A and B are shown apart, each in its own frame.
Chain A
Amino acid sequence: MSGGEASVLVVEDEPQMLRFLRTTLVSQGFQVLEAMTGKDAIEAVAFRNPEVILLDLMLPDMDGLDVIRTVREWSHTPIVVISARGREDDKILALDLGADDYLTKPFGTGELFARIRVSLRHAVKAASDEQAVFVAGDLTVDMAKRQVTVGGEGIHLTKREYRLLITLIKHADRVVTHRQLLQEVWGPGYETELPYLRVYVGQLRRKLEPDPARPRLLLTEPGVGYRLKAE
């Protein structure tokens, strides 16, 4: 793919990691801005207007979570967090603070470009109108008619299953935390009712996936949330 001169702010204090990200992003046609501290990152967002932010949570001067908190006070620029496995709590916090997605170290370039691409697309889409028909593989959802079909066949969904699906579609290809889903589908006060969500995702999978035990559409991000795979 080509970055098409989109500017990416890379916030990373480890030189090797920074070099890897710079090299691969530049080779794909992105314009790369760099920051090695949280303070520099916030300044760069304010004055250089990047289109996507890649943010490592481990920074020398401040907590990456605080960078998200500060940036989100005045900017909607997509933030993709870079974090290590086993730090699920950090990821959830980052996402609930307003980060758009995360990458787990170590990651390959395929994953990196996919996350950036999705973030850019969502940023554009947020500005334009909501799409009326969503298609991913065999699944087609017509939001205007509230129709769900898999391979051309109509599928019965309960109201709540439908709302869950629509919420995931709205964030297509991005991770949505359990908390966000519970809040958007069940409403405030249900944030801790995780088993509800899991049972409904299971039901939805059985209706939409050919092999619910090996989902290709409604992916689980263990300990964090769910991701609807559209690409």
Chain B
Amino acid sequence: MKTRLSGAADKPLWVQLALGLVVVAACTLACLPLSTLFPLAELVMVYILGVMLASLQFSRMASAVTAVMCAAAFDFFFVLPRLSFVPTDLKHLVTVAGLLTLGLVISTLTARLLHQITVVAVEQERTRALLALSRELARTESIADLAAEAAEHVGRFFSAAAAVFLAEDAQPLHVLAAAGVSRGRAAEAQPQLDAVNQDVSWRELATRAFATRQDEDIAVVGAPGSAAVPLTGSRGNLGALVVRSDTAWTISAEQASQLKAFAAQTGLAIERAQLEVEAEQARVAVETERLRGALLSSVSHDLRTPLGAITGATSALLDDEQLLRSEPGRDLLTTVYEEAVRLNRLVGSLLYMTRLEAGAVAANKEWQPLEEVIGAALTRRASELAGHEVTVKMDYALPLMEIDSVLIEQALGNILDNAARHTPTGTVIEVEAWPLGRGVEIRVADRGPGLEPGEESLVFDKFYRGAAGRMGGAGLGLAVVRGIIEVHGGRVWAERREGGGSVFHVFLPIEANPPDLALSAAREDDLVEGE
């Protein structure tokens, strides 16, 4: 749409002709003082210069007319007799004819040269635009980003608004990205999409383009100022690329082929991304299947083991009345109790895990002091932690946290429980909480056997059991922890500890500003006599 080297060639013909007249006048004026000093053949050179300049600036028609005018002016003003077109000398007639021919040839050649330069420049720009688009597309992964990138590039290339429509299995033809539709808010995607959705003609164009067969060769042209082509993929049309201008522009053949080149590239990239998504879905399906198998075998094993112990112990107690009051009898009862507790924990973890994976756990976040949640976790796991020395260090000026107390208590409890079960009785478990960046980090450090190298992230996987042995866990506790912390936008990780043992870190971010209530509430609240 742009790209001409010359400045005046886009102006109307009569303007160019007027400018041509100015050139002729300027040449004539320049020759007037020279005409007494030089012979006619030298003056011709001035006019030739004028014709050259004119042909560089004007359209072919205008520069030809200027050449004729130059010849006429030369003849009229300088060839004897002056102020007459009819030369007396035949020699001068040849000079005039030579000037006319030379002028016309120059203007023609210049125009052709200019045209070729223009063609090359346009070609170059098209190639550059295509290259730029393909580079961006190669760098982009998600389908939505691909579409946005394509809309952006196409819109910019045509200095118009552009939109990418896509038809997917789940959704019929819908707009995926748009650029340059609503002015002034180019950075925001949603207003653009809304604007496209509000205007039915966008969809109509896209639908028509989408319906064309692949071998049909021409871009669909809708109302004046718009054009649409299908986005082609190897399995048929994927969608459509629509361009709209505010002006009454009609797409040229070159622009149409450019638009199709854009569409082909975009289609290819989107298809590649779709295939990747499909491959990923297939992979997830296989993984899910594998996990379900692991779940079934693990759960049935973990449920049966304690049940087996309970059944055995209780049947022994039922069979022998004396046993109930004896020392071994009490041991059996202890076993029954412990195994029941273990079953309860397993069922709880399974429920949490299922709900977390189904996305059914919506964190009920409220602003609260973290120390209370840590305290609740320690209190509820008091019996599990009874064999260990637990130390707590925390900054009591910790900011309020926006967390779900029940979930975080469960997560911390699981970490503590894990530490208690995997470390020898009597060792120390250290709990700490400190501010870290825009959030708080909680650390639970133990002096147990520690993690094997490479185990640090595995421990948070479902059904992963430490190399050190099962220790009665189903490999779900820490997976639940990770699920809960992720629901809070936080991070959990484990490390081997210097000097033996392991450290579990939980980072919880503070995303909003905590309510400033401690001060305002205290002001209305006077001291009471305490002595």
Q: Identify A220's interface contact among B344, B379, B526, B529, CB under 8 A.
A: B379
A162 adjacent to B528 (CB under 8 Å)? yes
Q: Identify A223's interface contact among B348, B369, B405, CB under 8 A.
A: B405
B348 adjacent to A85 (CB under 8 Å)? yes
Any B CB within 8 A of the CB of A48: no
B126 to chain A, nearest CB (A): 61
Q: Identify B366's interface contact among A194, A213, A214, CB under 8 A.
A: A194
Q: Which of B311-341 contact A (CB under 8 A)?
A: 340
Tell me which residues across on chain A come within 8 A of B376, comparing CB atoms: 219-222
Convert B280-291 into 0s and 1s, putting 1 for each residue whose CB lies closer than 8 angstroms to a CB of A: 000000000000
Residue of B whose beta carbon sits closest to that of A201: B372
B375 adjacent to A195 (CB under 8 Å)? no
| Size bracket of the A interface | 35 or more
Inter-chain CA distance A218–B368, complex, in Å, is 16
Any B CB within 8 A of the CB of A157: yes
Inter-chain CA distance A195–B516, complex, in Å, is 10
Inter-chain CA distance A217–B522, complex, in Å, is 23
Contacts across chains A and B counted by CB atoms under 8 Å = 99
Any A CB within 8 A of the CB of B351: yes
Tell me which residues across on chain A come within 8 A of B340, comparing CB atoms: 106
Tell me which residues across on chain A come within 8 A of B528, comparing CB atoms: 146, 156-159, 162
A156 to chain B, nearest CB (A): 4
A169 to chain B, nearest CB (A): 15
Q: Which of A174-231 contact B (CB under 8 A)?
A: 193-196, 198-202, 205-206, 211-215, 219-223
Any A CB within 8 A of the CB of B38: no
B529 to chain A, nearest CB (A): 6
A147 adjacent to B371 (CB under 8 Å)? no
B368 adjacent to A194 (CB under 8 Å)? yes
Tell me which residues across on chain A come within 8 A of B530, comparing CB atoms: 147-148, 154-157
Any A CB within 8 A of the CB of B138: no
A157 to chain B, nearest CB (A): 6
Residue of B whose beta carbon sits closest to that of A178: B366
Convert B370-408 into 0s and 1s, putting 1 for each residue whose CB lies closer than 8 angstroms to a CB of A: 011111101110000000001010101000100001100
A76 to chain B, nearest CB (A): 30
B375 adjacent to A206 (CB under 8 Å)? no
Any B CB within 8 A of the CB of A34: no
A199 adjacent to B518 (CB under 8 Å)? yes
Inter-chain CA distance A207–B351, complex, in Å, is 39
B378 adjacent to A214 (CB under 8 Å)? yes
Inter-chain CA distance A202–B373, complex, in Å, is 11
Tell me which residues across on chain A come within 8 A of B369, comparing CB atoms: 198-199, 202
Tell me which residues across on chain B come within 8 A of A215, comparing CB atoms: 375, 379
A196 adjacent to B521 (CB under 8 Å)? yes
Any B CB within 8 A of the CB of A151: no
Any B CB within 8 A of the CB of A39: no
Central interface residue in B371, B374, B530, by most chain A CB within 10 Å: B530
Inter-chain CA distance A148–B529, complex, in Å, is 9
A220 adjacent to B375 (CB under 8 Å)? yes
Tell me which residues across on chain A come within 8 A of B170, comparing CB atoms: none
| Size bracket of the B interface | 35 or more
Any A CB within 8 A of the CB of B515: yes
Any B CB within 8 A of the CB of A160: yes
Convert A94-118 into 0s and 1s, putting 1 for each residue whose CB lies closer than 8 angstroms to a CB of B: 0000000000001000000000000
Any A CB within 8 A of the CB of B498: no
Any A CB within 8 A of the CB of B249: no
Tell me which residues across on chain A come within 8 A of B375, comparing CB atoms: 205, 212-215, 220
Any B CB within 8 A of the CB of A90: no
Q: Identify B521's interface contact among A88, A148, A199, CB under 8 A.
A: A199
B493 to chain A, nearest CB (A): 23
A146 adjacent to B372 (CB under 8 Å)? no
Any B CB within 8 A of the CB of A15: no
A159 adjacent to B525 (CB under 8 Å)? yes
Any A CB within 8 A of the CB of B187: no
Q: Which of A15-55 contact B (CB under 8 A)?
A: none
Any A CB within 8 A of the CB of B409: yes
Any B CB within 8 A of the CB of A86: yes
Q: Which of B257-276 contact A (CB under 8 A)?
A: none
Tell me which residues across on chain B come within 8 A of A213, comparing CB atoms: 371, 374-375, 378, 392, 394, 431
Residue of A whose beta carbon sits closest to that of B404: A223
A168 to chain B, nearest CB (A): 15
B379 adjacent to A158 (CB under 8 Å)? no
Any A CB within 8 A of the CB of B512: no
Tell me which residues across on chain B come within 8 A of A212, comparing CB atoms: 371, 375, 396
B405 adjacent to A199 (CB under 8 Å)? no
Tell me which residues across on chain B come within 8 A of A214, comparing CB atoms: 375, 378-379, 390, 392
Tell me which residues across on chain B come within 8 A of A206, comparing CB atoms: 396
Tell me which residues across on chain B come within 8 A of A222, comparing CB atoms: 373, 376, 380, 405-406, 409
Tell me which residues across on chain A come within 8 A of B526, comparing CB atoms: 158-159
Inter-chain CA distance A214–B375, complex, in Å, is 5
Any A CB within 8 A of the CB of B169: no
Inter-chain CA distance A66–B13, complex, in Å, is 92
Residue of A whose beta carbon sits closest to that of B367: A195
Residue of A whose beta carbon sits closest to that of B398: A202
A211 adjacent to B392 (CB under 8 Å)? yes
Any A CB within 8 A of the CB of B517: yes
Tell me which residues across on chain B come within 8 A of A86, comparing CB atoms: 348, 351
A106 adjacent to B344 (CB under 8 Å)? yes
B355 to chain A, nearest CB (A): 9
Inter-chain CA distance A223–B371, complex, in Å, is 15
Residue of B whose beta carbon sits closest to that of A192: B366
B522 adjacent to A195 (CB under 8 Å)? no
Tell me which residues across on chain B come within 8 A of A154, comparing CB atoms: 530-531
Inter-chain CA distance A154–B529, complex, in Å, is 9
Inter-chain CA distance A205–B369, complex, in Å, is 12
Inter-chain CA distance A219–B380, complex, in Å, is 10
A202 adjacent to B371 (CB under 8 Å)? yes
Inter-chain CA distance A202–B374, complex, in Å, is 12
Q: Which of B488-531 contact A (CB under 8 A)?
A: 515, 517-518, 521-522, 525-531
Q: Report B's interface with A, CB cutoff 8 A.
A: 340, 344, 348, 351, 364, 366-369, 371-376, 378-380, 390, 392, 394, 396, 400, 405-406, 409, 431, 515, 517-518, 521-522, 525-531
Q: Can you list 20 A-B pairs with a CB-CB distance of less than 8 A?
A: A85-B348, A86-B348, A86-B351, A156-B527, A157-B527, A158-B526, A158-B528, A162-B528, A194-B366, A194-B367, A195-B400, A195-B515, A196-B517, A199-B521, A202-B369, A213-B371, A215-B375, A222-B373, A222-B406, A223-B364
Q: Report A's interface with B, CB cutoff 8 A.
A: 85-86, 88, 106, 146-148, 154-162, 193-196, 198-202, 205-206, 211-215, 219-223
Q: A193-B517, A215-B379 are in contact. List 15 more A-B contacts (CB 8 A).
A: A86-B351, A154-B531, A157-B527, A158-B527, A160-B521, A194-B366, A194-B367, A194-B368, A201-B372, A213-B392, A213-B394, A220-B379, A222-B380, A222-B406, A222-B409
Q: Would you list the 7 A-B pairs with minimal beta carbon distance, nearest first?
A: A223-B406, A220-B376, A213-B392, A195-B367, A156-B530, A154-B531, A158-B525
